[in-house]
Amino acid sequence: MLDFTNDVLYNVEGTKHWTPDPDITPEQLDEMREEVFERIIVARVGLLLRHPFFGNMATRLRILAADDWCPTAAVDGRNLYFNTQFFNKMNNKEIEFVIAHEILHCVFDHLGRREGRDPKLYNIAADYIVNNLLVRDRIGEKPSFIDCFQDFKYDKWTSEEVYDDIYEQAKQNGKEFLEQLGEMLDEHLDAEGDGDGTSDAGETKDANGNNVSKNKPKYSKDEMKKIKDEIKESMISAAQAAGAGNTPGEISRMIKDLTEPKMNWREILRQQIQSTIRNDYTFSRPSRKGWHTGAILPGMNFDETIDLCVAIDMSGSISNKQGQDFLGEVKGIMDEYKDYKIKVWCFDTKVYNEDDFSADDGRELTEYEVMGGGGTDFDVNWTYMKEQDIQPKKFLMFTDGYPFGSWGDDDYCDTVFVIHSNHDKTLEAPFGMTAHYEENVA
């Protein structure tokens, strides 16, 4: 792993144009805080009127001043923390932007998705995702006095993909690259240790009775999980209250995934394979139900043989064991039928190791040797099928979902993509059926 030293990362923060005035008196801060509280309330109302999803989410957050530890803003899913001087420097539209920025970190689970990545680089990546959406949808106004991270180069990327890109650039260019990226709009909070499920941050009130956070809060993993569940419920309620068309598309898709139950990949695979049995209606065997009417009514023509092609993407992220697990599931379904024909191959930038299996050849599908490779080109599968005059009733592809260019020929045959190891768990192929392997493995 690339070692970003504290000195290098400190210099990223050291490029900030914004820092609170350390010489402000407590009395001045209390007076300023009273006005800032009111302006945050006004900004929330503005969001409710113009961007109701964000407004509804904002009303679920407690407002806490955090001047002793937070130089800008922060969020934990329950509380919105703010630096009085930072918010005082913004106009109301800029405050709307920052509030919506904090809400999106919660919605996209940026508090929990960092895993083992470098904290500061992942926070930068998350800010790109959030700020791009807010600028695109014109949610408030980007603060003018901070050079925050925003670049439509990363439009439709995930935070993990942005992180990988920044990581590679930082590895090549070092401190000079990091220093020119921009500056953080907020502080990011993380789970620390196992704990007992409660935050150990103190809380008091200022001279005007406003809530003030004392010391940066820390959260156990158990408490972060509870907060994550609360955020999901808030998202659904806020979207319902906002009404149709008032929630960003990315969030609407997330809510759809939360509220509409999904079949796991094994169920989808079974359903899709079984669907090949029913071929068409035919007049070759008239239904007996129609004999007394004098009319010839069509009956269902059932194929005796299930005809499949299976391609395993061996570009690097799928192990031989996972490939065998996938084939084992296909075999289990095949064993339920008296006859089948299956072609199996691996691919990366070419197709190789094709093998044919049938119900009576004495071999098991799990005996197939999965072979590794490199690179990725989905189109080679369709080129191969066309060159070999293969047109299966169902084409099953086990893949990481990272094509180099096209996903394939959507008009050639029915296709099922079983996607493994992709960062985007909502990813859908542009055609055919999509299922995600990782969501349902034990």
- Residue 71, CA distances (Å) to 48, 204, 334 in order: 26, 18, 61
The answer on 415 and 280 residing in a single domain is: yes
| pLDDT surpasses 90 at 11 | no
- Quote the pLDDT of residue 277: 60
The answer on 313 and 186 residing in a single domain is: no
The model carries a pTM of 0.60
- Quote the pLDDT of residue 440: 38
Among the listed ranges 7-16, 99-108, 246-255, which one has the minimum average pLDDT value?
A: 7-16
**CA gap 100, 103 in Å, rounded:** 5
pLDDT in tens, 176-199: 776 677 888 888 886 554 444 445
The answer on 299 and 225 residing in a single domain is: no
CB of 349 within 8 A of CB of 316? no
Pairing of strands 211-214, 433-436: unpaired
pLDDT in tens, 272-317: 777 766 443 343 334 333 444 444 444 434 445 667 899 988 876 6
- 344 is a domain residue: yes
Q: What are phi and psi of 147, to 5 degrees?
A: -90, 75
- Quote the pLDDT of residue 360: 79
- Quote the pLDDT of residue 29: 92
Q: What is the CATH number of the domain that holds 386?
A: 3.40.50
Instruction: Taking residues 92-106, report their average pLDDT.
Output: 96
**CA gap 400, 154 in Å, rounded:** 20
pLDDT in tens, 23-62: 899 999 999 999 999 999 999 999 999 999 999 999 999 9
Query: Which of 200, 234, 259 delimits the end of a domain?
Result: 259
- 419 is a domain residue: yes
The answer on 361 and 312 residing in a single domain is: yes
- Quote the pLDDT of residue 405: 83
Query: How many domains, in total, are found in the chain?
Result: 2
Q: Which domain holds residue 228?
A: 6-259
pLDDT in tens, 127-157: 999 999 999 999 999 999 988 999 999 988 8
Structure tokens at 311: 């391609």
Query: Which of 259, 277, 312 delimits the end of a domain?
Result: 259
- Quote the pLDDT of residue 10: 35
- Taking alpha carbons only, the member of 81, 80, 77, 98 closest to residue 89 is 98
Query: Which of 196, 230, 259 delimits the end of a domain?
Result: 259
The average confidence (pLDDT) of the chain is 81
- Residue 169, CA distances (Å) to 27, 176, 178, 366, 428 in order: 46, 10, 9, 42, 29
The answer on 245 and 392 residing in a single domain is: no
- Give the contacts of 323 (CB within 8 A, at least 6 positions apart): 312, 314, 346, 370, 398
- Quote the pLDDT of residue 215: 79
The answer on 251 and 336 residing in a single domain is: no
The answer on 317 and 405 residing in a single domain is: yes
pLDDT confidence bin for 321, thresholds 50/70/90: confident
- 251 is a domain residue: yes
Q: How many residues does the chain have?
A: 442
Tell me which range, 117-131, 249-263, 280-294, 308-322, is most confidently predicted by mean pLDDT. 117-131
Find the DSSP H helices in 159-218.
159-173, 175-180
Q: What percent of the chain has pLDDT over 70?
A: 80
- Quote the pLDDT of residue 35: 95
Residue 435 amino acid letter: A
